[in-house]
Structure 1
Amino acid sequence: MLRPLALAALAAASLVVPPATADPVQAQSVGALLRGLTLEQKVGQLFVTHLNGQAPDEAHPNNQKDFGVDTPAEVVAKYQPGGVIYFNNSSRDNIDTPRQIAHLSNGLQRASRIPLAIATDQEMGIVTRIGAPATQFPGNMALGAGRSAADAERAAAITARELRAMGVNQNFAPDADVNSNPANPVIGVRSYSGDPALAAELAAAQVRGYQQRFLSRHGVAATAKHFPGHGDTDEDSHTTLPKVDRTVEQWRQLDAPPFKAAVEAGIDSIMTAHIKVPKIDPSGEPATLSKPALDLLRRELGYDGVIITDSLQMAGVRQLHPDAEIPVLALKAGVDQLLMPMNLGVAVESVLAAVRSGELTEERIDQSVLRILRMKFLRGILTGPLVDEDKVDTAVGTPEHLAAAQAITDRTVTAVRNRDLPLAAKPAAALVTGWGETTTRTLAGFLGGTALPTGSAPTETQIAAAVQAAGSADLVVVLTNALSRQPAQQALVTRLLATGKTVVAVAVQNPYDVAYTAAPNWLATYSYSAVSMAALARVITGEVRPAGKLPVAVPGPTSYPFGHGLGW
């Protein structure tokens, strides 16, 4: 067994923190730890930073540029942040295999005087940082189509167990936004539904699954996002500052229910949105920096857990103020944790300077640090930060987990329109074409057919090639993504229909595609992951019946109501 990390701050406070039990114990333990911290250590706890590289002691050139040191462990040792976040992109790649992630997590924990909250965005679906062999699920909107709180909770519980085995103890999920705007470019299928009640039910279920309060060493801190609700935007806060024209009463009815349900389920953390809501706060500040917006969370919803910002590198929060001012403004608004400031050193110094000048009080810092330490206490992070690297490969992607993921996903495929399904027999010559280089090939493999990907904007040459290939197929499956904005994809579907072959059109992301073109067979999967393509193949061939119901209303030339879904 791995020993719990020895904490200098705990020793200074003459305290050994026991496992989470009763509130009085929690209050005494966390309070003693807080009293043993210097101001600099407290301010460090407020920050969650990215870092660069896959091994704790491996030099990465971007760390020198971003932090003035070489390795991920040196970043932690220098700044002593409260948390770190893992990414799988080319510039900040922290993720390879489960064992590698566990080794990185342990190395960072050993470099930290106070155990870290190690986070990632494992929403599943289109926002998934850790891929296979970790168990994959189709994402929130697919769960919304499945209509099962039990399935949602089990998916979250499996994800939490696997994350914790890799040393990741906080998940920036679930996305609790109600996707009420079909043109939303950043939420879409990350949302459970356009219906507040359904979104609330599934958000609460996933909070229970992620946090698993009865097994705190297996649970992770859940984070509902993006408060007060990013579902009614037609712009992306990564690149601009979107506006939502909700009144407070509209917010209560449309956006608040999932966050309220998450609070009532005991969620550890809630993430802010970089959106302006002028009818709630006419100042024009993004909600991340808006006390009136965050007062809705603290006062109206009665939330006293950790409030964390969305990334402070996003354009939505950087339009009105210099980077050095943003952390101080966020703390004044009521935020506790500051995610990924543009320059960590500058951000830390700006908060320290604000305390020393009296702009912020140390008591205000203590309020946030107490919440952060309490979250770490509840999740067992303070007493169990290390993981057994030799056991991670048998804990992640187990046969039991994979079977559960497939069964859950099988219950999410939605038949919106049907004439020819299920097939009487497995197709002898299936053609899978349309959107998605990998996705078309994956589905073709499950159907035993041929893939001919044509991309998001197929050329006339590609369309002609698909039509020609359809001539020798007894089944054509055409995958679509963002069909309403892509006339060339619509043309591809129309030309394939004209061949007279059996054509099945499939919306593999947002279900709004089904309103377009006259395909007699329309299915929606809400996900283009392999587990969703396996479920799709099983539905097409009749191995399973479609059980999903549309979790959003679909407007357009041929509209469909919320809850529509065919069976056979």
Structure 2
Amino acid sequence: MNIIPRWAWQPVAIGVAIIAICGATRLSPSLPVTLLRHSHVLKNSNGTGFRDLNKNQRLDVYEDVHQPIEKRIQDLLRQMTLEEKAGMLFINGARINEDGSIEDKPGKGIFAFAPNAAKLLTEKKMNHFNLWAIPANPHTLAVWYNKMQQLAEASRLGIPITIASDPRSHFSNNIFAMQASGFSQWCEPLGLAAIGDPQLTRQFADMVRQEYLAVGIREALHPQVDLATEPRWPRISGTFGEDAQLSARMATAYILGFQGATLNAQGVATMTKHFSGGGPQREGLDPHFPFQRGQIYPGHNFKYHLIPFEAAFAAHTAGIMPYYGVPMGQTKEDVGFSYNKAIITDLLRHHYRYDGVVCTDWGLVTDAHLDTIVWPARAWGVEKLSIPERMQKIIDAGVDQFGGENNPEVVIQLVREGKVSERRIDSSVVRLLRQKFQLGLFDNPYVAEDKAATTVGRADFVAAGEASQRRAITLLKNDQKILPLKQSLKLYLQNIDPAVAARYGTVVNRPEDADLAIIRLQTPFYPVESNIPLAKMFHHGDLDFKGTQLDSILQLLHKVPTIVDIYLDRPAVIPEISQAAKGLLADFGASDAAVLDVIFGKFKPGGHLPIELPSSMDAVRAQKEDVPYDSKDPLYKFGFGLRYE
């Protein structure tokens, strides 16, 4: 059975037909062109156009843009079935066909397993989706988005979809940064913290907001305001570092840039994560995987990790995402955050009086089957519970939405069996509907397909992003003021594009022939043994170079004067390299051109370390997971950064 109506592929023709049937002059001249072009439910009421979303030929309260949002929510809630309510409680990834169509076609690449959004909408009543892989052409993404909104419009009540995304506007090879696909590429959040300028962070968020709006992304599954107090944790690059006050300032600017002072039709809702702070993982082992050992607080510093979230609440973040971890010894039961009523209801809902959307991280309930490999659900502390029991416990804890799950039928079962009240479900549906109304999705969810490519990757956005890469670079050592370098030197390179470096000097193939060497490194990592492929991609383990790899680097540094740039996605332990290098810089996501511009003085380094660099792995192991900048005798302290004179 074909679940997609014929009009889904004929938006322009439909728009013309609507105008012909309704009479273009009788519709309000203020109606947006995108609505006239794509909507098939436009009607007239006293000479004013409206969207007849439930197709009953009259203007309902929830369809009336002049009614208060709370009245619109209650009117729609009364019309919703239990099945429609349950569908709203789920958000999952969706794959996008390269031609922008919404049929169920085989997927490609690492995210081929992602489900088809059209099927989830029609069969499961789901209307929240997040995007991983996207087409290279923003126009194609906009076409897909509008077709999905048309399909949603054809549903019984016409509830629009909300599209979310993880960060996709950073120059990064980190697993948590989605492929940019034409978006401007800024330094990573850790780099924004290194710059330390809230105005720039707000500019970043505002520009990315405009790019997101152009293709229909209305919910940012970010910022990540966890504190990087455990230096081995793999998710540090997505944070603002280890200082709570710095992170709070960055979080405020970030949220205001995406949402504005009040969330509205020009805003992108932020989902701040991961409450109540995911940084202090025992030995840095991430709770995506069964080898995690819980979050620990040997420094009794639980409240310190709440400070950035308090800033997010003050900025009215639209959503909150708890992490997978288990806050060991902090509540009556050692269970993951989204299962933990003391965390979600007592702390978040009651203490902080937070009434926005709370969504679990992905995959807390259902095991993932990857070929012959089973990736267990992140149901830490409740592994023995059944799927319905897990869902009931999450709902009872106070969570609104299940990330990475497709099973609203379980919620329906829980209500019909009397284990969860429909009134409890309604409270979550109200929060989710409120966000859709605030974003203006009920009034006009469509985007201008012809403008997507001119907004995404706009020249001034790209230029600002590239400038941030340079500004975040942090100068750690400048022996005898060797930097900035003069041009026309003979350069030996490692991990740098020779074509880019040729703009600055003559590239030679042997160190012996060079006046100077320039090499780029990355913080080391050592994968944890696991049969889950994704686990091996996480940057776990020690932070120092070892054995032949270290020897090879040091041999070069002793053979020829060398400038070292190191990408810090975690704090590197590099005492020998620091001692032998003539110049040492740290970057937080930067192109070769950005790094070389700083090395040769076209741009001055402006960063200060948002994380300390420990002096040894012994110091790392001795520090407390929940306490900032506490390793013994750090090589470079938090906040360190030199300048060119």
Counterpart of 1:98 (choices 100, 113, 138) is 138
CA-to-aligned-CA distance 1:511-563 (integer Å, 9 cap, x gap): 43454522231111122x43xx3332111001121110011122124621111
Distance 1:201 1:491 in 2: 41
CA contact under 8 A between 2:259 and 2:268: conserved in structure 1?
yes
1:102 aligned partner, one-letter code: A
What's the counterpart of residue 472 of structure 1?
513
What's the counterpart of residue 461 of structure 1?
none
Q: Per-residue deviation at 1:168?
A: 0.9
Would you say 1:311 and 2:351 are equivalent positions? no
Would you say 1:396 and 2:445 are equivalent positions? no
What's the counterpart of residue 567 of structure 1?
643
Q: CA RMSD in A?
A: 2.9
- Normalised TM-score (structure 2): 0.76
What's the counterpart of residue 145 of structure 1?
194
What's the counterpart of residue 429 of structure 1?
490
What's the counterpart of residue 586 of structure 2?
524
Matches within 5 A, 1:121-160: 121-122=166-167, 124=170, 125=172, 126=174, 127-160=176-209
SS of the equivalent of 1:317 reads: coil
What's the counterpart of residue 343 of structure 2?
293
Would you say 1:29 and 2:72 are equivalent positions? yes
CA contact under 8 A between 2:149 and 2:445: conserved in structure 1?
yes
What's the counterpart of residue 228 of structure 1?
276
What's the counterpart of residue 2 of structure 1?
34
Would you say 1:170 and 2:182 are equivalent positions? no
- Normalised TM-score (structure 1): 0.86
Counterpart of 1:279 (choices 311, 318, 329) is 329
CA-to-aligned-CA distance 1:226-276 (integer Å, 9 cap, x gap): 1111111211222234411238962212x1011110111010011110000
2:184 aligned partner, one-letter code: T
Distance 1:73 1:98 in 2: 20
Would you say 1:335 and 2:380 are equivalent positions? no
Describe the shift of the 1:160–1:130 C-alpha distance in structure 2 as closer, same or farther (beyond 3 A): farther
SS of the equivalent of 1:2 reads: helix
Q: Which has the larger radius of gyration?
A: 2
CA contact under 8 A between 1:415 and 1:546: conserved in structure 2?
yes
Unaligned runs of 5+ in 2: 1-32, 42-50, 153-157, 369-374, 525-542, 617-633
Would you say 1:182 and 2:231 are equivalent positions? yes
Distance 2:349 2:131 in 1: 28
Distance 1:69 1:183 in 2: 30
CA contact under 8 A between 2:516 and 2:560: conserved in structure 1?
no
Give the count of matched residue pairs: 529
CA contact under 8 A between 1:99 and 1:392: conserved in structure 2?
yes
1:2 aligned partner, one-letter code: T
2:643 aligned partner, one-letter code: G
2:523 aligned partner, one-letter code: A
Counterpart of 1:549 (choices 608, 613, 617) is 608
Describe the shift of the 1:546–1:8 C-alpha distance in structure 2 as closer, same or farther (beyond 3 A): same
Unaligned runs of 5+ in 1: 89-93, 452-467
What's the counterpart of residue 309 of structure 2?
259
What's the counterpart of residue 365 of structure 1?
425
What's the counterpart of residue 409 of structure 2?
349
Q: Per-residue deviation at 1:326?
A: 3.0
Would you say 1:15 and 2:74 are equivalent positions? no
Describe the shift of the 1:480–1:68 C-alpha distance in structure 2 as closer, same or farther (beyond 3 A): closer
1:236 aligned partner, one-letter code: D
Would you say 1:243 and 2:294 are equivalent positions? yes
Distance 1:36 1:227 in 2: 33
What's the counterpart of residue 326 of structure 1?
390
CA contact under 8 A between 1:426 and 1:541: conserved in structure 2?
yes
What's the counterpart of residue 120 of structure 1?
165
Distance 2:391 2:500 in 1: 46
Distance 1:298 1:441 in 2: 55
Task: Give aligned-pair identity as a percent.
Answer: 26
